[in-house]
Structure 1
Amino acid sequence: MLQKLTNALGTNVTIPTTEKQCVTEKANVSEQVIGKYASLYHYIRIQTDETLTLSLEQIEAILGFKLPASALKYRAWWSNDLTHSQAKAWLYADRVVDTVSLPSIIFRKNDKW
């Protein structure tokens, strides 16, 4: 149904429907998709613990630049929403933001992707 909707809207999106397609989609995640948050994606992706706690300072060190003021001020910046480029970094790495307790963020494994 979602595929029919995207076709009707004239978008060029393919929705993965099999496990193999999902694995292929995850393997094709590139810096073009994640943008300037790619280093965070790569860091999070190799972590093996069920939860990962990072301070804002650690995240900035991983990224190599300061987070925007909104990340320091608004919890919504950390929402698990693929329309936000920063969220792609953790969502494509099979994590979700579980807890925002500034100045720390807790990411939890999410194997549902």
Structure 2
Amino acid sequence: MNFGAIRRVIASGMFILNFVLAVALIYLFVSRGMIEGAGWSAVDLVTVLLSLVSILLTVIGIFIAVLAIWGYGALRAIVVSRAEEITNQTLSDTLARLNVDEGADYGAAAGKDTEHAKPRANR
């Protein structure tokens, strides 16, 4: 697993999140005094901030979902690899314990069993 890449993605996401929040707050503070008599009321400010929070939570949720899918794929690959390794090791140990030659030519060995069935020559 490449933790450096994960760290860079998380840092980039946090930077973008902070940048969006900073731009939104600067817009709120600057636009408040630009037009006389048209300032933000408390209800407007709360509405905008709650909207921003809901958008940010949605983006964070999507980001976590993407990480979960990526993590599942990586975890699955690791588990499959480890299962194959353990299966091969167990099979090798079992075959060694049973004294089975993995590369033996069983066809040649089977032909030797029929020698006793050959008719004997009269003595």
Decide: shared fold, TM above 0.5: no
TM-score, with structure 2 as normaliser = 0.20
More strand by share: 1
Instruction: Name the larger-Rg structure.
Output: 2
More helix per residue: 1 or 2?
2
Q: Which has the higher contact order (CA 8 A, sep 6+)?
A: 1
